[in-house]
A and B are shown apart, each in its own frame.
Chain A
Amino acid sequence: MTNEEIKGAAAEEDQQAQSKKALKKQQKEAEKAAKKAEKQAKLAAEQHGVDEEDFAQDRYGIPPMVQSQDNLDRVLVRVQELTPQKAEQLIWVRARVHTSRAKGKQCFLVLRQQQFNVQGLVAVGDRASKQMVKFAANIPKESIVDVEGVVRKVEQKIESCSQQDVELHIERIFVVSQAEPRLPLQLEDAVRPEGEGDEEGRATVNQDTRLDNRVIDLRTTTSQAVFRLQSGVCQLFRDTLTNKGFVEIQTPKIISAASEGGANVFTVSYFKTSAYLAQSPQLYKQMCICADFDKVFCVGPVFRAEDSNTHRHLTEFVGLDIEMAFNYHYHEVIESITDTMVQIFKGLRDRFQTEIQTVNKQFPSEPFKFLEPTLRLEYTEGVAMLRAAGVEMGDEDDLSTPNEKLLGRLVKEKYDTDFYVLDKYPLAVRPFYTMPDPINPRYSNSYDMFMRGEEILSGAQRVHDAQLLTERAVYHNIDLEKIKGYIDSFRYGAPPHGGGGIGLERVTMLYLGLHNVRQTSMFPRDPKRLTP
C-alpha cells in the first residue's frame, strides 16, 4: 500500500510539475499568438490602408470563372503576331504564364502560347501599382492570363523567347484559369536536351513521368513541334494520294476473324460471342480493290496484341494503308508508294523546317536524307552487302533487326539515303497471300521499305486468284475454313493488285531521328500502359 501511495504521490507531483510546465508553455504560446495576431492585424491594417490607396485596383485580379456571361468585343492578338510592326500598339493577349521573376519594383513574365513566347513586364509606374506587381509575381506558372499591354521594341534581342524583338509592357492582367502551384514536372526540365543538365545537377524528366502527365508534357515546344509535324505527315499523305486518284476508305475495326494469322489479335466480347480488333485493314482494302475502287487508302487505328516492350512497338497505332490495282507489274505499286513517301519527305523538309529545328534542339539528329526516285535494291543485293560486311546468313533467311540496322548503315554509306526499298524477299519469309516470283519460285513479289535502317512498310503483290490462294494457304497449313471469306472475295474476278501499310508514329519518329515511338504517339498504348 505504502509503496503504492508513495508511488501515487510521486505521480501526482510529477503531474503537477508537468502541468506547471504546460501552463508556462501555454502562456508563452498565448503571448506568441497575441503577438502574431497583433502583427497580422497590423499587416492587415497596412494592407487595408494600402488597398485604399491602390490606384490600379481594377487593373488586375481574378475575375469570376468564364461561364460565357459576356461576349466581349475584345480582339486577342496571337503571340506569334507580336512583331516590331505592332510596336507602340495597345493590345490584348491571352497566354500562359511560362515563367515569372519579380525584381524589386518590376516583374518579368514570359507569356507562352503553344511554341511561341514573349517577354512581358509589369513595372511600378503610373499604370501599375506595387500591389499589381506583387500580384503578377504570385501568379502560379502555367496559369492562363489575359493581359493588356503596349508592344515595345527592345534594343537587345531577347534570346530566351521566340519573339525576340519586342516585349509587352503590361497594363492590365487578369487570371482566367489558375494552375496549381506545384507542377508534377517543370517544362524547362522537359525540354532540356539529354545529358546537358547532368553537370549542373539539373533535372531531366523521364519517359514515364512525361507520359503520366502527358497534358503538361504536350505543352512543351518539342511536343508541340512533334505533333504538328505528325499532322503534316497525315495531311501530306492524304493530299498526295488524293492527287494520284486514290479514294479514302473507312474500314471496320471490329472483325470476326483474324486477318493475318491468329496469334497477335485482341479478343473483345461481342454480345454473346467474341470478336477481334483489326490488326490491319488489309482484307477490306483488298475487297475494295475487288469492288473496283482501283486505288484506295485509309488512315485509322490498328491493333497488335504483341507483348513486346521495345522502343518501336505499340499495341495501338495509326496505320496509313495503301492498296492499288496495277496494270502489268507490281513495281507500279512500289513507284506509287515511294513517290508518296518522297512527296511527304519533301513537304516536311520545305514546310516544317522550324518544327524540325525545334525538335533537333532537344534531340539532335542528322537531317533526313532521301533520293528521288527512291533507291530500290533487291534482297540478294542486301544479303551480298551484309556478307561483304562479315554477316553470315543464308540466301533465304529473314533479316534480323540488327541486320536490318546494319544494312541501313551500309546503304547510307554508299548511297547516302535514309529511305530505300528492299525488293524480292524470299517467299518463305512472307505471308501466304504474297505472289511468288514468276521466274524464281523461291522469291516473291514483295518488298519492305526502310527509314534510318528500320522497317516502316511491308508490302507485296497479293495473290488475286482464288485457286492459287487456296494452294498457298494449304502449303502454309492454314485452316481454309477460317479464311474462306477472304478467298471467296477473289472468286468473281479480281484485278492484279498490291499495297502496303505504314505506321504514322514510326514514320514521325524515324523522320525526326527520335529514339522512342512513345514520343510520337500522343497517348501511347503499350503492354504496360493503358492510361492516360
Chain B
Amino acid sequence: MPMYQVKPTSGGDIKIDLPTCMYKLPNVHASRSDFGEHAHQNGEVDPAMQALEARQDEIMRRLYELKAAVEGIAKTVTTPDADLDATTIPQQGSASTVLTGTSDLDSLLGKDPGALRDLVINAHPSRPPLSLLVLHSLLCQRYRVLSTVHVHSSIPAVAPPLLTCLGPRHSHSYARQHFQLGFTLIWKDVPKTQMKFSVQTMCPVEGEGNVARFLFGLLSPGPREAAAATLSDAWVDTALFQLSEGGAKERAAVLRALNAALGRSPWLAGAELSLADIVCACCVRQSGSAPSAPPNVQRWLKSCENLGHFGQAYALMH
C-alpha cells in the first residue's frame, strides 16, 4: 500500500512551541514509521490502515448512493408528479401489497373465490392495446400478478414480441394459487379489445378504453373526485376515438388541445398522473405523431416514459 506510505518530510526532533489552548496529540509520524516497518516485515496489515480503507469504501458507497439519489431527483424534476414516481411505488408496493393486496381485491372484485382471479383480455394482434400493457406493469407492482400470453386459433401466427409483451415468464408460474391476480392476454381475431372476468356476474367489457378504466380502478381504490374523473374519462375517449381512429386533421387538433392542457398543468387531469395520461401517451405514440408533437406534449411524453412503465408497450411498436 504505497499510497499511504509517506516518508517524513521533516525530522522528528524539531522543537515546536505549541499553544496550550489546543489538545495534545502524540506524534503521528514518529511512532507510525516504526510500526509500519514492523508490520511489513511480518506480512501483516496495519489495523489502522484497514480502518482507513473501510472508511474510504464507506465514503465511496455513500457517494454512489448520493449519485443514485440525485439521478432519482433529476427524474422527479422532469416528472412533475413525485407521488407516482417509479422509485416510490415499489417501496410502497413491497411494504403494503402482501398485507393489504388481497383484501383490496376482495373489495374491488368481490369475495375471495378460493382460486386465482383471472382477468382475460382478448385483443387483435394488429392493434395491440398499449395502454393495457402499461397498466399491467403498474398492476404488477401493486399485486402478485400471474401474466400469461396465449394465441387463439383464429390467428394463424403472431410476431414474437407480442408473445413476450408481458415480460418474462414468472419463475413460479407453475403454482397458480400463489398469485393474487391473473392477467391473461389472448391474441384473437376480435373486432374490439375485450375483457372477461366473471362470466356469470359480469358482462364482457368492450373497448380498450373501458378495459383500461377497469384496470385503473384496481390500482387506485377509493372514491375519486367527480370532476377530475370526468375530465380523465373525456381524455380517454378523445385519445381512442380521435387519435387512434381519426384522420390527420383530427389528430392535429387533439395534439393542439393536449399541448394547451399540458401548458396549464403537469398532467392531463390535474396534478397527478391519471388514466388519461396513460391512454393519451400510448395513443400519441401509436399514431406516430410523437416526433412532430408540440413542446408541452414532448415534455409530457418524456415524463411518462420516466415512470418506467411504458417500456414494454413501446417495445411493441418497432
Does A413 make an interface contact (CB < 8 A)? yes
B3 at the interface (CB under 8 A from A): no
Q: Does B312 contact A (CB under 8 A)?
A: no
A370 lies within 8 A of B153 (CB): yes
In B172-208, the 8 Å CB interface with A consists of 174, 176-177, 184, 186, 188, 196, 198-201
Besides A373-B150, A378-B115, A385-B115, 20 other CB < 8 A contacts?
Answer: A331-B174, A345-B153, A346-B153, A367-B153, A368-B153, A369-B154, A370-B152, A370-B153, A371-B152, A371-B153, A375-B150, A376-B176, A378-B176, A380-B115, A388-B198, A388-B201, A389-B200, A415-B120, A416-B122, A416-B188
Q: Are A381 and B186 in contact (CB under 8 A)?
A: no
Q: How far is the CB of B192 from chain A (nearest CB, A)?
A: 14
Tell me whether B115 and A381 are in contact (CB under 8 A).
Answer: yes
Q: Closest CB of chain B to A277's CB: distance in Å?
A: 37
Q: Can you give 25 contacting A-B residue pairs, CB < 8 Å?
A: A345-B153, A346-B153, A349-B153, A369-B154, A370-B152, A371-B186, A372-B151, A372-B153, A373-B148, A376-B176, A378-B176, A380-B114, A380-B177, A381-B115, A381-B116, A384-B113, A384-B115, A385-B115, A388-B198, A388-B200, A413-B196, A414-B118, A414-B199, A417-B152, A417-B153
- Chain A residues within 8 Å of B122, by CB: 416
Most chain B CB neighbours (cut-off 10 Å) among A331, A388, A416: A416
Min CB distance, B168 to chain A, in Å?
15
Interface flags, A367-405, vs B, CB<8A=1, else 0 = 111111101111011011101110000000000000000
Q: Which residues of A contact B198 (CB under 8 A)?
A: 388
In the assembled complex, which residues on chain B have CB atoms less than 8 Å from the CB atom of A378?
A: 115-116, 176-177
List residues of chain A with CB within 8 A of the CB of B153: 345-346, 349, 367-372, 417
Docked pose: A415 CA to B120 CA in angstroms:
7
C-alpha spacing A368/B152, complex, angstroms: 11
Hey, which chain A residues are within 8 Å of B118, CB to CB? 381, 414
| Contact pattern, A 336-380, Cβ under 8 Å of B = 1, otherwise 0 | 000000000110010000000000000000011111110111101
Identity of the chain B residue whose Cβ is nearest the Cβ of A373 in the assembled complex: B150
Choose among B113, B114, B150 the residue that contacts A371 (Cβ–Cβ < 8 A). Answer: B150
Does A287 lie at the interface of the complex (its beta carbon under 8 Å from any beta carbon of B)? no
* A179 is an interface residue with CB less than 8 A from chain B: no
Q: Which residues of B contact A329 (CB under 8 A)?
A: 174
Q: Quick check: B184 and A415 within 8 Å, CB to CB?
A: yes
Within B112-165, the residues touching A (CB, 8 Å) are 113-116, 118, 120, 122, 148, 150-154
Determine whether A410 belongs to the interface, using a CB cutoff of 8 Å to chain B: yes
- The answer for the CA separation of A329 and B175 in the assembled complex, in Å, is 11
Residues of A in contact (CB 8 Å), total 30
Least CB separation from B197: chain A residue? A414
Q: Which of B9-52 contact A (CB under 8 A)?
A: none
B contact residues, range = 20 to 34
Give residues 38-86 of B contacting A (CB, 8 Å): none
Q: A345-B153, A389-B200 are in contact. Are A414 and B113 (CB under 8 A)?
A: no
What A residues does B177 contact at CB under 8 A?
378, 380
Residues in chain A within 8 A of chain B (CB atoms) = 329, 331, 345-346, 349, 367-373, 375-378, 380-381, 383-385, 387-389, 410, 413-417
Q: Which residues in B have some Cβ–Cβ distance to A below 8 Å?
A: 113-116, 118, 120, 122, 148, 150-154, 174, 176-177, 184, 186, 188, 196, 198-201
Contacts of B186 in A (CB 8 A): 371, 415-416
The answer, among A345, A387, A410, for a CB contact under 8 Å with B199, is A410
Looking across the interface, which residue of chain A has its beta carbon closest to that of B158? A372
Q: Nearest residue in A to B156 (C-beta to C-beta)? A: A350
A331 CA / B169 CA spacing, docked (Å): 14
Chain A residue contacts of B116, Cβ below 8 A? 378, 381
Please, how many angstroms separate the alpha-carbon atoms of A381 and B122 in the complex?
A: 20
> Closest residue to A349 on the B side, CB-wise?
B153
Would A369 and B150 count as touching, CB distance under 8 A? no
Closest Cβ–Cβ distance, residue B169 to chain A (whole Å): 10
A389 to chain B, nearest CB (A): 6
B113 neighbours in A (Cβ, 8 Å): 384, 387-388
B193 to chain A, nearest CB (A): 14
Cβ contact within 8 Å between A369 and B152: yes
Determine the chain A residues whose CB is within 8 A of the CB of B148 once the complex forms.
373
Chain B nearest CB: distance from A7 CB in Å? 95
By a CB distance below 8 angstroms, the chain A residues around B200 are 388-389
Task: List the A side residues contacting B152 at CB < 8 Å.
Answer: 369-371, 416-417
Question: Would you call B176 and A381 a contact (CB within 8 A)?
Answer: yes
Q: Which of B150, B154, B188, B196 contacts A414 (CB 8 A)?
A: B196
CA distance A367 to B189 in the complex (A): 14
A329, A346, A413, A414 — which one has the most chain B CB atoms within 10 A of its CB? A414
The 4 closest A-B pairs by CB, nearest first: A384-B115, A371-B150, A381-B115, A384-B113
Cα(A389)–Cα(B153), bound, Å: 27
User: In the complex, A372→B149 CA distance in Å?
Assistant: 9
Q: Are B120 and A384 in contact (CB under 8 A)?
A: no
CB distance from A174 to the nearest CB of B (A): 48
Which residues of the partner chain B approach A380 to less than 8 Å between Cβ atoms? 114-115, 177
Assembly CA distance A369 to B150 (angstroms): 12
Expressed in whole angstroms, the minimum distance between the Cβ of B247 and any Cβ of chain A is 33
Residues of chain A within 8 A of B174, CB atoms compared: 329, 331
Q: Are B199 and A413 in contact (CB under 8 A)?
A: yes
- Taking CB atoms, residues of chain B closer than 8 Å to A384 are 113-115
Q: How far is the CB of B74 from chain A (nearest CB, A)?
A: 42
In the bound complex, residues from chain A placing their C-beta under 8 Å from that of B114 are 380, 383-384
Minimum CB distance partner of B182 in chain A = A381
CB distance from A88 to the nearest CB of B (A): 40
Q: Is the beta-carbon distance between A383 and B154 smaller than 8 angstroms?
A: no
A370, B201: Cα distance in complex, Å: 24
Does A383 lie within 8 Å of B115, measured CB to CB?
yes
Complex Cα spacing A385 to B114, Å: 10
A384, B201: Cα distance in complex, Å = 14
How far is B184's CA from A417's CA once the two chains are assembled, in angstroms? 13
Which chain A residue has the least Cβ–Cβ distance from B194?
A416
- Are B120's CB and A414's CB within 8 A? yes
Distance between Cα atoms of A385 and B196 in the complex (Å): 14
Residue numbers in B under 8 Å from A385 (CB-CB): 115
Write the chain B residue with the least CB distance to A374.
Answer: B150
In whole Å, how far is A352's beta carbon from the nearest beta carbon of chain B? 14
**CA–CA, A384 and B186, complex, Å:** 22
Cα distance, A376 to B148, chains bound together (Å): 10
- Rounded to whole angstroms, the CA-CA distance of A368 and B154 in the bound complex is 10
A349 to B155, CA, bound (A): 12
A385 and B177 alpha carbons, distance in the complex (Å): 14
Shortest distance from the beta carbon of A16 to any chain B beta carbon, whole Å: 91
- Least Cβ–Cβ distance between B115 and chain A, in angstroms: 4
- Tell me the bound Cα distance from A378 to B179 in angstroms: 12
In the complex, what residue of chain A is closest to B116 when comparing beta carbons?
A381
Chain B residues with Cβ under 8 A from A375's Cβ?
A: 150, 184
Cα distance, A47 to B115, chains bound together (Å): 87
Task: Report the minimal beta-carbon distance from B256 to chain A, rounded to whole angstroms.
Answer: 41
